A and B are shown apart, each in its own frame.
Chain A
C-alpha cells in the first residue's frame, strides 16, 4: 500500500470485500437453496475444500481455469447428492451427516491434492475496473474477478426464481411443509436431492475461486472456515438471496481488515482481525435469534432454527 498510507486501509477493505466475499457469496447462495428445501448441509466446508482442490487440479492439467470451475461444480454437486442420499435414509441426523461430510471432504481433498501443492495453475480472468487510476493500489483493488459478477447476478436471479418460477414454488413448498408437497404429488426426497446437489455445486465453485484466483494456489490451509461461516450467513440473511449478497460483502470487508492493517504496519491484532467475521456472525445471531419464535423467512421444515 505504498504512497497512500492510511488511505490504503479503506481501499484494501473495499478490494477485500469484493475478493474475500466471492466464496462466501457462492457458498451461502448454495446453502440458501438447500435450506429452502428444508434441509441443512453443514458439509459445505468439505465441499468448498474439495472444489478448491479439484478446480485447481483440472485447471492445471487442462490449462483452462473455466474447465476447473466446471469440475469443481461437478464435484460439489456429487458431494451434495451424497449428503442428500444419506440424509434421505430414515433416522439419520442431517446435521451429523454434515459434520461427517466436512471431515470426509477435507480429508479426501488433502489426500488427492498432495501432488498439486507445488504447481501454479492458470488464473481466472479479471476485469480491470481501476484503469482510470494511476495508483497501483487502487488499480489492484479494482481488479474484479469474473466469478464475482456471476455471483452478484445469481442473487437477484435466485430471488426471481424463488418468487416467480414453478421450480421456486415447489422448492419453497417442500421446505415449508413436507406433507403439503407430498399431497401435491411431489417427492420431498427428490426435490431435496436436487436442491442439495445444486447447493454443493455452488459451494464447489466458491472453492475453485479460492484456488484459482484469490489466494490463487492450492494448499491445505486454504479454507479457514468459509464454508461453515456461510451456513451462519444464510441465517443472518434471513433466507433472502439479496441478503446473502450484502452479508457476503460485509464479511469480506471484515475479513480483509486484518491483512489491510498488516500491510500498513499495524500487526498487533492480526489473529483477532481474522476472527472478525466469526465474531460478527455470532453477534448477529445472538441479536437476531429468539427463543420464542422461529425466524421470519425460515423454511418451516428446517431443523436448524428451532
Chain B
C-alpha cells in the first residue's frame, strides 16, 4: 500500500516530465535543431562524465536550499516566492559579517560560522516578515514576498555600489573579497564545495522537522485547514513565524555559500535566479524536502548542460529557460491527474474482505 501511495505521488510529475520531453522536442524541431542530439547533449552536459557530474552538483547545491525557501512555507499553506531576495541579502550579510571577522584574524571555522549565522538571520528576517504580514495584517504573502525580494535586492545593490564597495573593483562594483584561505572548502577528491553537504543536511533536517516533529505536524494541520488549526488551539501565528523563518534561513544560507564558496565577494552577480529556480524545484518535488534532493540534482544538470547546448547546436542560452518554463507548466497541469490515477490503482487492488458492521458506524453514520 505504501508503494502504491508512493507511485501515486510520483506519477503526475513523471507524466509531466514525459509531456515536457515531447513538447520540447517539437519546440527544438521548430527551431531547426535535432531533438535527439539535443537530449543527448543535455545528458552529456549534466551526467555524462565525472566532470559534468561535479558541475551539476555545484549548481544543485544552492537549489537544495532555495527550494526549501518555498517548500517549508508550503507546508503551512503559504506560497512564498521571495527566495531570490533571501539569497542575495544572505550573501551580502555574510560578507558584511565575514570581512570584520577575518580582519580579527580568527580561524576559518569561526569566520565561516559567523558568516552562515549572519546570512541565515538576514534571510530568516526577510521571509518571516512575509509570514508575519500575512498573519497579522492579512497581506498576501505571495505578492509581499516578491516585493520584499525586489526591495532587498535593491538595498543590496546600493550597499555593494556604495558603503561596502571595494575601491579596487572599478568596472564591476563588488565588495572586498574574502581572503582565499577562509573560503569554504571542497569535498575531498572533488571540485564540489561543502555547500552541497550543508544543503543535503538541511533538506534531511527539514524533512524530519516537517514529518517527524509535533511542530511540523501542527504546521501541516494549519496548512491543510487553518480554521481547524485555530479551533484546536494551535498557535498559528507562532507556527507561521517559525516555518517562514526556517525557510528564510535556508535561502540566506544558500547566499552565504555562494559568497563563501563560489564568488568570494558579493556583487550584482548574486542575483542570477537561483531563488526562482528553487520555486520550480520545490513544485517538482511536490513540496517534500526529501524529494527536493533528486529534483535539485536534475535541475542542476539542466543548468549545467545549457553551455553545451549553446556551443554545439548554436541555440540561444534562453533555450534552457524555455525548457524549464515548459516543465513547470506541464507539472502544474499534471496536478489535475492526482486523484484520478489513485482511483484506477485502487480499483485494481484486491478488495479487502468486508468487515462486520460496527455498532458505532451503524448507529452514528
Contacts and interface: CB of A to CB of B under 8 A. Distances in A.
Interface stretch (B108-116, B164-172, B315-323, B343-351): B315-323
Chain A interface mostly: helix
A291 B325 contact: no
Contacts of B154: 271-272, 274-275, 278
Contacts of A100: 280, 283, 325, 328-329, 331-332
Contacts of A96: 79, 283, 332
Nearest to B273: A103
A232 interface: yes
A114 B317 CA distance: 10
B139 A95 contact: no
Contacts of B162: 268
Contacts of B336: 89-92
A105 B318 CA distance: 11
Contacts of B155: 271-272, 275
B262 interface: no
A304 interface: yes
A269 B147 contact: no
Contacts of B338: 91
Given A282-B144, A289-B137, A110 B321 contact: yes
Interface in A250-282: 268-272, 274-275, 278-279, 281-282
Contacts of A269: 158
A168 interface: no
A231 B148 CA distance: 15
A98 to B, nearest CB: 9
Given A93-B332, A93-B335, A282-B148, A111 B321 contact: yes
Contacts of B339: 91
B281 interface: no
Given A89-B333, A232-B143, A291-B135, 8 more contacts: A96-B332, A268-B162, A270-B161, A275-B150, A282-B151, A285-B144, A286-B133, A289-B137
22 contacts: A86-B333, A89-B333, A95-B142, A97-B332, A100-B280, A100-B329, A104-B326, A104-B328, A107-B321, A111-B322, A225-B146, A228-B143, A229-B147, A268-B162, A270-B161, A272-B154, A279-B151, A282-B151, A285-B144, A286-B137, A289-B140, A291-B135
Interface of A: 42, 86, 89-93, 95-97, 99-101, 103-108, 110-111, 114, 225, 228-229, 231-232, 235, 268-272, 274-275, 278-279, 281-282, 285-286, 289-292, 304-306
